[in-house]
Amino acid sequence: MDLNAGFDLSQENSVSGLPLPDAFVEFLKENGLDSSAYAGAETIPRYIRLKPGCESQLMDIETELDCKLEKVDWLPGFFSIPSHIQIASTNAYRLGKIYGMDAASGAAVMALDVTFGDHVLDLCCAPGAKLCMLADLLGNSGSITGVDVAQHRLAACRTMLQKYRLGDQCRLFVADGTTFSLVPVGSHTDMKLCSIDGQDMDIFREWTSKRSWKDRKDAAKKKVGTSTQASEEPLEPELIFYGRDSGVVGAQRTKLFRTVDDNEISTSGYDKVIVDAECTHDGSVKHIQKFEYWGWSTFQRRVLDAKRTQNLTCLQAFSSSGPFPLRPLSSRRGLALPAARPVFDLGAVCLYPPGLVPVCRPLALLTNGFRLLKVGGSLVYSTCSLTVSQNEGVIKLFLLTNPSAELMKIDAADKWRCRCGGIARTVRFDPKTSQTSGLFIAKFTKLAC
């Protein structure tokens, strides 16, 4: 079957080495991107991350993969292998000794600089490569809260945590990251763990894949509720996994799901937050390359669907007067800022009432992730898009509307194979410079104000 039937593939784009569809070439042009970034994608190595503790098995893994594992000198624990080597069917992978993870993604996690005991929020966590790396770095300290809106992807994340035996400190919520509001377990001032010997149905017992009678009843109630609920109502978070030491076992449901106000968040919010936002994935050259096999006809739906891209890049809607028509960044401290809590509409461009700031999903995710950060904590925003509108554009608008946010220097980046982003202190990985997929990284801290 010709998977590309009826789909225009550009003849002129042989420069990229791939017959890129015209619509994608147009997308690249609109965003000022050079299609030659996709040239020679197959020469970019594949990266693997070694499970900590498996260092002594390196030679056995090399023998099984039948290739040398080249140490990535700027990123501890990462190795490059030739791009044609497949790892999914190997024992090393199946037994959880290695992860498939691009080095640029590893850099985004390192930028967060997690330290012992941190409570970390991963706001777009599925399928979970970064979450697993965070869990490896934290060991048996602190906690990780993973949130994703896609239930099936989050289920894959849970499987990954179980395979690598990393779930003890983690909890996973199916929830909308633009409205998620739960702080780390144990940071509620009034939360006490209860003995679970009694029959109190309101207390979390050890997690099991079998759902309790109470959970089934709650889910059935929720189903009835959602059929009558107005669609704008935020999705109620659903806890689909929690580990033994995540602080959930023994906690009361009512307390765990209690939301706190922004004042309380400044002290009991997360120490670290990562927002690896949903984006157009155009920088993920290996992902783009896969459409050679999947068929370019699915590319339109999966990557370029107009409604989806508008949600992600709605800043473009203002391109007639330039992408940032409001005010220059330098004057942000002197601005009359719009209301702190805008109304987000994931389906369309929204306007803040006084300042006409366009809101797209990445900005909504970043804003909410930052709201959940405690004062003095740090947040990493990353996307695998090469466009300005999903990266520097989002950052500019975010800084305009969040006076307590300050861009931080990413210290580790001095050693990385990357370049500066379009705003000082941000960094960009791209195939040509870094021999990795494209990735944009910005790091913020929250000031007391």
Question: Any binding-site annotation on 276?
Answer: yes
Question: Any binding-site annotation on 2?
Answer: no
Min dist. Cβ of residue 14 to ligand SAM (A)? 29
Are 120 and 134 in contact, with CB atoms under 8 Å apart? Answer: yes
- Dist CA 277 CA 100 (whole Å): 20
Which residues ranging from 90 to 119 are in contact with ligand SAM (CB under 6 A)? 105
The encoded tokens of residue 300 equal: 């339109």
- Dist CA 264 CA 270 (whole Å): 11
Count of residues interacting with ligand SAM (CB under 6 A): 19
Min dist. Cβ of residue 268 to ligand SAM (A)? 22
- Dist CA 368 CA 261 (whole Å): 13
Half-sphere exposure of 405 (CA within 13 A, CB side): 26
> Helices 129-138 & 151-163, crossing angle to 10 degrees?
40
Are 103 and 76 in contact, with CB atoms under 8 Å apart? Answer: no
Interacting stretch for ligand SAM, rule CB under 6 A, among 120-128, 241-249, 330-338, 427-435? 120-128
Interacting stretch for ligand SAM, rule CB under 6 A, among 2-10, 25-33, 34-42, 173-181? 173-181
Min dist. Cβ of residue 161 to ligand SAM (A)? 12
Please state the φ and ψ torsions of residue 217, each to the nearest 5 degrees. Answer: -65, -45
Q: Could you say which DSSP state residue 190 is in?
A: T
Interacting stretch for ligand SAM, rule CB under 6 A, among 40-48, 85-93, 137-145, 172-180? 172-180
Q: 120: which strand partners?
A: 144, 272
CB count within 10 Å of CB 353 equals 10
Q: For tokens 């194979």, what's the residue?
A: 417
Which residues ranging from 352 to 371 are in contact with ligand SAM (CB under 6 A)? 361
Which residues ranging from 174 to 203 are in contact with ligand SAM (CB under 6 A)? 176-178
Residue from the set 102, 136, 271, 276 that interacts with ligand SAM by CB under 6 A: 276
Give the closest residue to 293 by CA, choosing from 8, 6, 19: 19
Residue from the set 51, 97, 130, 188 that interacts with ligand SAM by CB under 6 A: 130
| The one catalytic residue among 170, 384, 418, 420 | 384
Assess 342 for contact with ligand SAM (CB under 6 A).
Answer: no
Active site annotation includes 314 = no
Question: Any binding-site annotation on 262?
Answer: no
Q: Which one, 278 or 282, has the nearer CB to ligand SAM?
A: 278
Annotated binding-site residue numbers for S-adenosyl-L-methionine: 148, 176, 276
Would you please indicate which residues are annotated as catalytic (active-site) residues? 384
Q: Which residues bind ligand SAM (CB under 6 A)?
A: 105, 124-130, 147-150, 153, 176-178, 276, 278, 361
